[in-house]
Structure 1
Amino acid sequence: MNERYDGLLMVLLGIVIVLLIGYRVNRWLMSPQPDLLPGIPINDRIPDHPVIGLLEQEGYEVVGGKVKVNLSFDTGHKPIRSRLFIDYVASGSNGELYMVKLARERMPVDWTGAGIRDRLMPYLLLYPECAGLLYVDMNEQEVHRLTMDWSDEEWNGNDEYNT
C-alpha cells in the first residue's frame, strides 16, 4: 500500500515541477522587451557634398542624408530637450550600415580614449545594430572607421589606452 502512495506522490511532484517550469518559461517569453530605438532612419534626401565622393573612393555608398534624433531628458524638475545629428548614412561593401559624422572645425575630436568617448560614443550607443561610425575629415581627406567593443579588461595608464 505504501508503494502505491510513493508512486502517486512522485507523479504529482513531477506534474507540479513541469507546470512550474512551463509557467516560468511562459512568463519569460511574454515579458515585455526594453524600449529600443527602431532601426537607424534613412533620409532619402541626400544633398550633394564632396564627402560623398570621398566615401565612394573608400568603398562606401551613401544611402541616406542628414538625420535628426530628438532627445528628451527628465531631470526631476523639468524636461530638457536636445538633439543629435547624423550627417549621412552609408553602406559598406557587405551591406552593413554606418553612421557618418563630418568633422567640424569648431568641434574638433581629441583622438584619445576620453575624447572619442565624450564626443562620438553617443552615436555608437544610439543605434547598436549599425556596424559603426565613419568620421570624415574633409580637410585631411581622411575617413576614420570607428567601432566600439565592451571589455572587462583593466588597463593601466602606461599603455596605449587613455581614459
Structure 2
Amino acid sequence: MDNLVEIVIMLIAGCFLLALLYRFIYRWLHTPSTMSRIKLGRGGKLKDNDPNVNLLERHGYAVISGRHQIPVVVELDGEVLERSATIIIDYVAEKKGCSYIVKTERERQPIDLTTADLKKHLLMYALLLPDMSGILYINHKEGKIHRIAFHLAEK
C-alpha cells in the first residue's frame, strides 16, 4: 500500500515537472528573437507632498518609483539622427499585485480620452513594457485616475 502511494505521488510530481518543461519550451519557441525586454531602473526620487503621488495613494496605489527616462536612438536610411528621442514615464505604481505605468496630464498637451488620442499618445508605453497591467493617466486638477489597457485582438 505504501509503495502505491509513493508511485502515485511520483507520477503526479513527474507530470507537474513535464508540464513546466513544456510551458518553458513553448514560450521559448514562440517568443520573437528580436523582442528585447526593457528593464526599468530605480527611477527618479519621489518629491515630498507630490500631489500626483498623494492622489495615487488615496486611490490605493503604491508608487514604486519616480520618473524614468528611456533614451531612443533614431536611425533613418542607415544613418543615426543627431537628436535622440527620450520616452518619459512619470511614475510606476502597483495595486493588488498589478504594476502600472503612470502618465500625468500636461497642461500644454492634454490627451482626449478617445481611442485615436489614447492610441497616439499611450500605445507605445503598452508595447514597450508588455508585462505591465496597464497605464494610469492622472488628471490632477479633476482628481481622476483613468486606467487604460490595450489588448491586441485576433481576427
Indicate conservation of the 8 Å contact 1:39/1:129, yes or no. Answer: no
CA distance in 1, matches of 2:129, 2:32: 20
The aligned length equals 125
CA distance in 2, matches of 1:66, 1:113: 26
Q: What stretches of structure 2 of length at least 5 have no aligned partner?
A: 1-24
- TM-score (normalised: structure 2): 0.72
Indicate conservation of the 8 Å contact 1:62/1:90, yes or no. Answer: yes
The equivalent residue for 1:43 is: 43
1:134 aligns with 2:136: yes
What percent identity do the matched residue pairs reach?
Answer: 31
Q: CA deviation at 1:35?
A: 4.0
CA distance in 2, matches of 1:144, 1:42: 24
Q: CA deviation at 1:71?
A: 0.5
Letter in 1 for 2:151: D
> Residues 130 and 41 from structure 1, CA distance in 2 versus in 1: closer, same or farther, beyond 3 angstroms?
farther
Q: How does 1:108-127 map to 2 (within 5 A)?
A: 108-127=110-129
Indicate conservation of the 8 Å contact 2:91/2:101, yes or no. Answer: yes
CA distance in 2, matches of 1:32, 1:144: 31
Q: CA deviation at 1:52?
A: 0.9
The equivalent residue for 2:55 is: 54
CA distance in 2, matches of 1:38, 1:118: 21
- TM-score (normalised: structure 1): 0.69
The equivalent residue for 1:83 is: 86
- 1:90-133 CA-partner distances (Å, limit 9, x unpaired): 1112x221111110011111211111000111111110011111
**Runs of 4+ more than 6 Å apart:** none
